[in-house]
Structure 1
Amino acid sequence: MVAFLLGAVIVTAAVFAFLNGFRDASAAVALSVRTRALTPSIAVLLASLFNCLGALLSVAFVAIFADKLFMNFPTGQMGLILLLAAVISACLWGIYMWWRGFPSSSTQALISSLVGASMGSAIMGHQTLESINITMWSLVLLPLLISPVVAFVLGFVAVYPATWAARNTAPHRVNRRARQMQSVAGAVVAFGHGLQDGQRTTAVLLLALLAAGSIGAGELPLWVPIFTAVLLALGTAFGGWRISYTLGHRLVRVDPLRGSVAQMLGAALLFIGAIVLHMPLSTTHAITAAVVGAGANQRFAATNGKVLAKIAGTWILTPLACVALGALFFLALSPLA
Structure 2
Amino acid sequence: MLSAVLFAALVFAFTNGFHDAPNSLATAVSTRTLGPRAAVTMAACMNVIGAFLGEGVARTISRDIITPPEGPAGPVVLLAALIGAITWNVVTWYKGMPSSSSHALVGGMIGAALASTTAVRWSGAAANFALPMVLSPMIGLLLGFFAMVAIMWVFRRTNVQRMTRGFKIAQSASAAAMALGHGLQDAQKTMGVVVLALVATGYQDSYDVPLWTVCAAAGAMALGTLTGGWRIMRTLGRRVIKLDAPRGFAAESTVAAVSYATSFIWQVPISNTHMITSAIVGVGATRRLSAVRWGVAGDIVAVWLATVPGAAAVAILAYLVLGTALPT
State the TM-score bracket (shorter-chain normalisation): over 0.9
Whether 2:72 is the aligned partner of 1:82: answer no
2-structure distance, mates of 1:255, 1:300: 16
1:60-139 equivalent positions in 2, closer than 5 A: 61-70=57-66, 72-121=67-116, 127-131=117-121, 133-139=122-128
Aligned partners of 2:144, 2:210: CA distance in 1, in Å? 40
TM-score by length of 1: 0.93
| 1:134, distance to aligned residue in structure 2 (A) | 2.9
Of residues 219, 223, 231, the one that matches 1:234 is 223
| 1:190-201 equivalent positions in 2, closer than 5 A | 190-201=179-190
Amino acid at match of 2:300: I
Q: Which amino acid aligns with 1:13?
A: A
Aligned residues: 326
- The question of whether the paired residues in 1 share the 8 Å contact of 2:60 and 2:192 is answered with no
Secondary structure at the counterpart of residue 86 of structure 1: helix
What are the superposed Cα offsets for residues 119-161 of structure 1, whole Å, 9 maximum, x if unpaired?
100xxxxx32243x33443344322321111111111111111
- Partner residue of 1:285 out of 274, 283, 296: 274
Structure 1 position 25 matched with structure 2 position 21:
yes
What is the CA–CA distance in structure 2 between the aligned matches of 1:249 and 1:310, rounded to whole Å? 15
Query: 1:205: Cα distance to partner?
Result: 1.0
**Larger CA deviation: 185-194 vs 152-161:** 152-161
Is residue 61–residue 193 contact of structure 2 (8 Å, CA) maintained in 1?
Answer: no
Cα distance between partner residues in 2 of 1:285 and 1:198: 17
The gaps in structure 2 that reach 5 residues or longer are none
Aligned partners of 2:152, 2:82: CA distance in 1, in Å? Answer: 44
Letter in 2 for 1:182: Q
Decide whether aligned partners of structure 1 residues 207 and 21 sit closer, same or farther in structure 2, where only a CA change above 3 A counts.
same
What does residue range 160-239 of structure 1 map to in structure 2 within 5 Å? 160-218=149-207, 220-239=209-228
> For residue 248 of structure 1, what is the aligned residue in structure 2?
237
* 1:124 counterpart residue number: none
Is residue 47 from structure 1 mapped to residue 43 from structure 2 by the alignment?
A: yes
Alpha-carbon RMSD: 1.5
Would the aligned equivalents of 1:119 and 1:327 in 2 still touch at CA under 8 Å? yes
CA distance in 2, matches of 1:325, 1:135: 23
* Runs ≥4 residues deviating over 4 A: none
- Identity %, equivalent residues: 38
Under a length normalisation based on structure 2, what TM-score does the superposition of the two structures give?
A: 0.95
Instruction: Please give the secondary structure, in 2, of the residue aligned with 1:301.
Output: helix
Q: 1:175 to 1:317 in 2, by over 3 A?
A: same
Offset at residue 197 of structure 1 (A) = 0.7
Q: 1:305 aligns with which of 279, 294, 300?
A: 294
| Contact 1:192 1:267 (C-alpha < 8 Å) held by counterparts | yes
What is aligned with 2:133?
144
Amino acid of the structure 2 residue aligned with 1:52:
V
Is the partner of 2:171 in helix, strand or coil? helix
> 1:254–1:302: 8 Å Cα contact kept in structure 2?
no
Shift in Å at residue 185 of structure 1?
0.8
Unaligned runs of 5+ in 1: 122-126
Q: For the Cα contact (< 8 Å) 2:254–2:279, is it kept in 1?
A: yes
